[in-house]
């Protein structure tokens, strides 16, 4: 039922807690398109377009390779749609809303302002559904993958999950809405369901989007670097104006006027897109909205967090249910036996951290695969404008925010590297988040009704 991945070795854990030892980086991922737009053969990526962590050796690049013109991200998703035309569609926001529906770009002028030089980057959405079945009556889901450009796990895992799902829909494969035998606090015994992916996509239209292309581009190998060309290329939390795009939604609460809602072009048009996805869903709602983030360190590798808002008892229990179900899958697939192995190696509690102290004093190594709670209890703060909060309270039946430990790329400078164990768990964590939600959305509206 549940795909168990290789457990982390003690040596791999120590990679995290000591110095994040990594292999030397390379100039491409690779992403393999079997000749499409000049991309490498699929065999180089283990038969995939977006390779598994053990085959890859770098993050997927957005900008074109100046030597070949090959665009790993764009040409990769385009080839995914070409290879699986029944299941995958690539959408550009600028095709929907006009030339201004792009990122800010290096000129630091919003795309809709008169002085803009037109240097904004395209924002893509990928839609997974059975295109032979009319969209009317389908549930819609939306996953925001890496709105903070330096939190790359959602982006990397989302691409692999999309390809997994297309392959499973085409060739046969299933997803589940939880692991058998987990204890639930919802007051009801959870019923675990397994579905053929083709059947799920006949009933759902699932959208994936990266809003913050600027923050991604800044860390690309081919990114322009002002000043010293040998200086670090670092992914960025915000866009080129350093605005946090995860503070742009018109949520209830005090607004910081230094970042007025929907002021940045990425979220002005992203907000419009989100509303259209919701309007196309059953009852004018998305069945599920998720925002996948990263954090420096935590007691858990994946923190599953309630969105801020007021919820009735039914919605509250549905939120509990998807949190518990996702945790059960993560518990089955990540960090099997980590705590015991670590303690046996160190002879004590080294690396487990102290609950009340923050990084780097404590929580240097996750001691559990996943936990769930509120944003406030997990991070110690909350704010207005969160994408996940907005989807859950204004657009969706349910929604959730996620944080993954060590999912920050800002420690990498120009000589960045690739850590197989870390990347594998980021990728598989994102897979668990996405696939569990898709499976649960098949029965969510009946749960606790």
In order of their start, the domains of the chain are 10-446 (3.40.630.10)
Strand 139-144 and strand 204-209: the pairing is parallel
Classify 170 as helix, strand or coil: helix
pLDDT tens across 115-174, in order? 999 999 999 999 999 999 999 999 999 999 999 999 999 999 999 999 999 999 999 999
Q: Which of 13-27, 314-328, 398-412 comes out lowest in average pLDDT?
A: 13-27
What's the mean pLDDT in 240-263? 87
Strand partners, 205: 140
0.85 surpassed by pTM: yes
pLDDT tens-place string over residues 256-313: 777 789 999 999 999 999 999 999 999 999 999 999 998 877 778 899 998 888 889 9
Phi-psi region of 337 (alpha: psi -120 to 50; beta: other; left: phi over 0): left
- The residues, any chain, with a CB within 8 Å of residue 346's CB and separated by 6 or more, are none
For residue 61, list its beta bridge partners.
none
On the question of pLDDT at 337 being above 60, the answer is no
Give the start-end residues of each E strand in 296-387.
300-306, 368-374
Which alpha helices (H) appear in 98-152, and where do they start and end? none
Q: What is the mean pLDDT of the chain?
A: 85
Would you place residue 364 in the very low, low, confident or very high pLDDT band (cuts 50, 70, 90)? low
Q: Residue 19: what pLDDT?
A: 35
pLDDT at 177 over 80: yes
- Whether the CA torsion 181, 332, 434, 394 is positive or negative: it is positive
**Confidence category of residue 13, pLDDT binned at 50, 70, 90:** very low
Percent helix, percent strand, percent coil in the chain, to nearest 5: 35, 15, 50
The three-state secondary structure class of 162 is helix
Q: Is pLDDT at 195 greater than 90 in this prediction?
A: yes
Residue 389, class by beta-carbon neighbours within 10 Å (0-12 exposed, 13-18 middle, 19+ buried)? buried
pLDDT at 143: 98
Distance CA 445, CA 442 (A): 8
Per-residue model confidence (pLDDT) at position 289 = 96
Query: Could you tell me the pLDDT band of residue 228, with boundaries at 50, 70 and 90?
Result: low
Instruction: Give residue 375's pLDDT.
Output: 81
What is the mean pLDDT of the segment spanning 417-426?
76
pLDDT of residue 112: 97
Distance in angstroms (rounded) separating the CA atoms of residues 378 and 298? 9
Structure confidence at residue 136 (pLDDT):
98
Mean pLDDT in residue range 179-208: 97
In this prediction, residue 229 has a pLDDT band, given cuts at 50, 70 and 90, of: low
Q: Who contacts 438 (Cβ-Cβ below 8 Å, separation ≥6)?
A: 141, 165, 175, 200, 204, 206, 288
DSSP character at residue 392: I
Pairing type for strands 174-176 and 368-374 reads unpaired
Q: Residue 21 — very low, low, confident or very high, per pLDDT cuts 50/70/90?
A: very low
């Amino acid at each position: 039922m549940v795909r168990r991945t290789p457990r982390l070795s003690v040596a791999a854990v120590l990679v995290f807690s000591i110095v994040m030892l990594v292999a030397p980086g390379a100039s491409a991922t690779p992403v393999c398109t079997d000749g499409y737009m000049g991309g490498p053969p699929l065999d180089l990526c283990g038969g995939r377009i977006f390779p598994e962590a053990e085959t890859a050796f770098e993050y997927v690049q957005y900008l074109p390779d100046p030597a070949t013109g090959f665009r790993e991200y764009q040409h990769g998703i385009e080839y995914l749609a070409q290879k699986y035309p029944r299941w995958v569609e690539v959408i550009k926001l600028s095709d929907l809303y006009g030339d201004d529906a792009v990122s800010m770009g290096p000129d630091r002028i919003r795309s809709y302002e008169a002085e803009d030089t037109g240097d904004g980057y395209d924002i893509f959405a990928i839609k997974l559904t059975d295109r032979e079945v009319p969209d009317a009556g389908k549930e819609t889901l939306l996953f925001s993958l890496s709105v903070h450009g330096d939190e790359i796990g959602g982006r990397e895992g989302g691409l692999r999950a999309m390809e997994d799902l297309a392959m499973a829909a085409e060739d046969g494969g299933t997803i589940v809405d939880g692991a058998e035998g987990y204890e639930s606090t919802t007051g009801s015994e959870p019923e675990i369901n397994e579905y053929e992916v083709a059947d799920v996509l006949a009933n759902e239209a699932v959208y994936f989007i990266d809003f913050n292309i600027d923050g991604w581009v800044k860390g690309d190998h081919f990114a322009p670097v002002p000043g010293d060309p040998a200086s670090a290329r670092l992914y960025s939390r915000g866009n080129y104006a350093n605005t946090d795009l995860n503070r742009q939604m018109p949520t209830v609460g005090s607004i910081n006027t230094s970042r007025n809602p929907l002021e940045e072009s990425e979220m002005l048009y992203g907000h419009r897109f989100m509303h259209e996805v919701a309007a196309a869903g059953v009852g004018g709602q998305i069945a599920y909205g998720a925002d996948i983030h990263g954090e420096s360190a935590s007691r858990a590798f994946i923190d599953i967090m309630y969105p801020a808002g007021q919820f009735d008892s039914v919605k509250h229990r549905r939120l509990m249910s998807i949190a518990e179900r996702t945790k059960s899958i993560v518990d089955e697939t990540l960090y099997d036996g980590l705590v015991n192995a670590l303690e046996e190696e160190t002879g004590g509690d080294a690396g487990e951290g102290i609950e009340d102290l923050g990084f780097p004093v404590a929580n240097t190594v996750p001691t559990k695969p996943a936990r769930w709670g509120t944003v406030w209890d997990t991070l110690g703060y909350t704010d207005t404008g969160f994408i996940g909060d907005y989807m859950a309270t204004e657009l969706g039946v349910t929604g959730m925010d996620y944080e993954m430990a060590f999912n920050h790329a800002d420690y990498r400078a120009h000589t960045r590297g690739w850590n197989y164990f870390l990347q594998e768990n980021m990728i598989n964590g994102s897979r668990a988040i996405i696939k569990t939600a898709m499976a649960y959305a098949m029965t969510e509206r009946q749960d606790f009704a």
